[in-house]
Amino acid sequence: MSRAKLGVAVVTLGLALYLVFTVQRGWIMLADDSLVAKALGVALFALPAVGAWTLIRELLFGAGTERLAGILETEGGLPPDTLPRTPGGRIVREAADAEFEKYRTEAEAAPDDWRSWFRLSCAYDAAGDRKRARATMRQAIRMHRDDPRPAPAS
pLDDT 10s digits, 121-134: 999 999 989 999 99
> Does the reported pTM lie above 0.95?
no
| Alpha-carbon distances of 10 from 15, 64, 66, 68, 129, rounded to whole Å | 9, 20, 19, 24, 27
Give 80-115 pLDDT, tens digit per residue. Answer: 888 999 899 889 888 898 889 999 999 999 999 999
Whether residue 154 has pLDDT greater than 60: no
